[in-house]
Amino acid sequence: MPSFLDTIDPAMLARIQAMRLMDDDFMTVVFDGDNEITEFLLRILLNRDDLRVKKVTTQKEKRNLFGRSVRLDILAEDTQGKVYNVEVQRADEGASSKRVRYNQAMLDSHSLKKKEDFTQLPETYIIFITENDYYGLGQPFYKIKRTVEVTSTESMYLPFDDGCNIIYVNGRYRGDDALGKLMHDFCTPNADEMNYSELAEKVRYHKQETEGVRTMCRIVEEYGKEREAFGRAEGLKRGVHETAIANARNALKLGLAPEQASQITTLPLEQVLALKEELECEAAIVSN
């Protein structure tokens, strides 16, 4: 009788075997609900041996009733009430400072209950592990510090401590220390090549054991459906936008003012004005 692993689509199995901890959909499965392994991770990232994780969740969605919600890769809390958000980012654009700002805002907005004082906001750590050296300076990590600029005879800066600690970890760092070994483990798909047995065991479970692989198959399928739905939504948006552009061009050709064309198609006036210039240039080329 064939085992479960024998029944899996080879393409699906190959995709799972190629996954690394630097891939957020794999990393979140490995760390989800595991206080011990998350504590191990945070201790290395922060170079601390006193940290105790109380609870951890992955792919935690923070909803915003009035705007964009955000899904956090790892969200943990320690025994002192400090909050840790760990994100892995393969593309540089996903690690922008404004992304960090938004994550912090969403964390803060869900941290206080009604009528609680702002002084009760927990200390937070937002840690972005980037596959590339985001700042390109060869450092193992970059700590972001906010300061108050003081105008005086000598340049002077005072610390601005709002309780939010922001750290970019260089995924390309391979120093002969705990962080360098950790980044190596995050970037290899092979558990046998890993430095830390704590991580290797979890990776093997999700790539070789029946229940672990079964979980990964479900996650990959769900992720694929989400991407497909997102692609359809993006395609629909592009289609609507392209139709609006075509309608605006036709309205301008019929002699409508740019303001009217903008109102009819809901395109920004600046874009309609640009379309008008394009039409004028096209007409000039034809006349010549």
Tens-digit pLDDT string for the chain (288 aa): 556 666 777 787 888 889 999 998 899 999 999 999 999 999 999 999 999 999 999 988 776 656 677 788 999 999 999 999 999 998 888 889 999 999 999 999 888 888 888 889 999 999 999 999 999 999 999 999 888 887 765 667 788 899 999 999 999 999 999 999 999 999 999 999 999 999 999 999 999 998 988 888 887 777 656 555 545 555 656 777 788 888 888 888 888 888 888 888 888 888 888 888 888 887 777 666
Long-range pairs, 199-207, Cβ under 8 A, ≥24: 199/21, 199/30, 199/37, 199/40, 202/30, 202/34, 202/37, 203/21, 203/30, 206/16, 206/26, 206/29, 206/30, 207/16, 207/17, 207/19
- Whole-model pTM: value is 0.73
Do the Cβ atoms of 118 and 76 come closer than 8 Å? no
Listed as own residue / partner, the contacts of 90-95 with beta carbons closer than 8 Å and 24 or more positions apart are 90/22, 90/23, 90/130, 90/131, 91/131, 92/130, 92/132, 92/134, 95/128, 95/130, 95/134, 95/168
Where are the domains positioned within the chain? 4-208, 232-287
